[in-house]
Structure 1
């Protein structure tokens, strides 16, 4: 016995360095960390409504009941080990696509389903609930699937999921973290229309940003290209103080094409007021934060297309800068991110009401939703540029476009 013990001790001595390397490898491997972590999301107040816009430009309003179901999905995901923030967003995308975040009965196949709390009646085969899960496919009983918490747990799946090992939930899909979000949602739902989930990616991101109050631990970084969304700005005392102002595009990469003030709109041909300064640049040119600050808007919608707004504290006052017309994947920050002057926050695009790749840049003294002033003058006053300032009749070139 003693001889075996001595051999075991010697063996451990030889293995110790290797075990140490394995431990270090696990600690340093971000993919492993992301896989093992929970999203750390906390649901705050659920608003009465939320206006959202899909990738296809469809604009609609979610009511409090729909947002409450989204809150349930977020809460369930935050309790399950291995579900990242991206995983929660995928689940919301799936529920938006399948039911528009409604807990649907199906009286045509299961008349008893209407006796459970529901938001209306569906009619797709024998599908039920938020994720349109089918009892005949093994997702659960009618009673189970008419429970939003059960449906969310089933969608996330994993070894502790109610449907393990089949049908597969998100955690049961090998490599789901490296898939596109729509692709991952399709892998769980196995829909006959696999491409439709991507349409709701910005909607799901806006819901997440609106309902959650804490930072996530995600497989993506703060510079994720996932389309973020608008939420309420942080309180003024949270805005980073800054004295340095930089030009929002790299030197030599841009041409000044549009001034602040009255102009002829290049799209409608009618008289309009241009609220920013337009700087034409090649598609994909890095957009830089003009000063240290906190991101208060990061969304893709409407005439702005890809829009980022950052609040700064400069000269003892709060001022916001806005950057518009990025492509959906050209936004590299999220609401709540703290950025520094000159940080790469996005890429020049031509989305929204735009006739060519350019940056529409605005300055809004007072904060995110305040009225804009002449951005060229503001940059000049802060020694960040030597731009011509607004004159009567100034406007954007028809080849570079602008916003309304």
Structure 2
């Protein structure tokens, strides 16, 4: 639960939107008979190949190069505080899903990427490398992202991560230990296909047990015990979890819901949401699991996102307004999870400074708004002052 923060100066007015290598970066090359401790597991020799099978029954063979990239991911994780066996498995699942553990260039968007050691050429937007990270989303430069070790560090994230605090790595996802493995991978990757990652869980498990020691019955038992908390968490219907839309400690509430004087026009109007002042570029988080129904930029609203959720058996939409055009990181139709990084705080459209205008609309995208502070408080996501009266309509 976030702490109540004092009200500051008024910020802006907004209506309810109708919205809308083969370069190996190992510290010790595992194929050279070296070993490296990984959270009490040790990386050993990399085999020439490994046949694996996905959860949906598809079998294929990974070659030595792909397995060496896997060893890089494991080795990098072993040096980061907070990265356990589950976190390493999630990273492997993500890289398997995104690139099949191949270091991919993208010469169509970045011709220079072909000058770096690689395992082939990709063509997904401006994505690069093992985890298909995008320079335009702030993950790093082309040179950095063509380094497998750098990509692994970026995926794991945390305060020592090269991309901290945004885009978020695994350690930057609130409550990741209580989430399903695939959910965590999706929260980092922000993919248009969020259900793909779990398909590679048995593949990641086989890679871990093959490339590391301690893979007898004891290790298998440990893996089952650790994974069970993620399975249980997923079964708990994470769709009912609500989180605050900005990271704790990054914001100050500057306007509440209801009647007010527009700070730009000076007219009496109705404020359809709450304003949360935050530094330009602060990450915006999805308040709950849902589907993106609006992700666009226009002159009035600036960059805005709307997500529809199913909570307590009912549809409710949340709106996020004032991002810069480049600060929108989801697309219409994307499935998102609670706490997922969806955009960056900006000051576009009808705005007087960097902040998030946040709305809640029971019934869906185009329904009438209610007080977001009360809604967040009711769902144990905040401790905010609530408006004493609510709006009767939306007008400038």
Q: TM-score range by the shorter chain?
A: 0.3 to 0.5
TM-score, length of structure 1 as denominator length: 0.45
